[in-house]
Amino acid sequence: MWNLFVSLFINILLWIYNIIGQNFGVAIILFTILIRIVTWPLNAQQMKGAKAMQDLQNDKEWQAIQKKYAKDREKLAQEQMRIYRERGINPFGSCLPTLIQFPILIALYQSIIRALAATPLDLLKLSQSINPNFLDVANLIPLNSKFLWMNLGQPEPYYILAIIVAATTYIQSKLTLPPATNPNDQSAAMGQSMAITMPLMLGWFALTFPSGLSVYFITSNLLGIIQYAAQGKANWSNLLPKSMRKE
């Protein structure tokens, strides 16, 4: 099943690579755009879920049960679930779309490695992943792994991509953070924490894994920023230092 998923990615990637004149970097960028379009409803759901959870933190009934059952965690959980049910909120609704990114990320990583076929085993796996009736892959191999200054099958050695990946991830995280109006708002605190953790982690990925994956991260982040901005939900003031923000 997993192999089928990776094979699907490889076939689409190679098809794009073939029709755009055999540039693997551009193929990754276009493929990322395709993935963002396909996962658009999920991202929209994520934003909706995050907004609903944020609103809940400022809700009087919600705050009241937090106080009332502060020492009875079981009862508090029951009451929270009741509110979720009554208002049609999925408490994990804002996490799930993020989690779906992981299988995509891993499949893309495997697709890039397999498609660039740096070792005989990768080339063999590629032969077992492609549909020869769909693509004349024999003629495409070896793929052109050069893109700008990078070898897409190798980590980028100058740390430039790692910095851009970390920066765009940070900017995207910050833009999507709603202003925290409640000092006890747990989801805002979590958002702040993730806004630091995720850029560091993806930056480390960019240092460690093939640069083709970094191209995916950067494209995906930029598209995310554009998506939020286009919907008028980007919170640009979050990029300013606290002292300069208009609260």
DSSP string, 209-234: S-HHHHHHHHHHHHHHHHHHHHTT--
| 124 interacts with other proteins by CB under 8 A | yes
Three-state SS letters, 175-186:
HHCCCCCCCCCH
Q: Which is nearer to other proteins, 119 or 181 (CB)?
A: 119
Cβ neighbors of 135 (< 8 A, separation 6 or more) are 11, 14, 15, 18
Interatomic CA distance for residues 73 and 66, integer angstroms: 9
| 85 interacts with other proteins by CB under 8 A | no
Closest CA to 221 of 176, 185, 179, 183: 176
| 22 interacts with other proteins by CB under 8 A | no
Among 42, 63, 91, 180, binds other proteins (CB under 8 A): 91
Looking at the DSSP assignment, which residues form a beta bridge with residue 151? 146
To other proteins, the closest distance from the beta carbon of 235 in angstroms equals 20
| 141 interacts with other proteins by CB under 8 A | yes
| 193 interacts with other proteins by CB under 8 A | yes
To other proteins, the closest distance from the beta carbon of 149 in angstroms equals 16
| 102 interacts with other proteins by CB under 8 A | yes
Residues that bind other proteins (CB under 8 A): 91-92, 95, 98-99, 102, 105-106, 109-110, 113, 118-124, 127-128, 132, 137-139, 141-142, 186-187, 190, 193-194, 197-198, 201, 205, 208-209
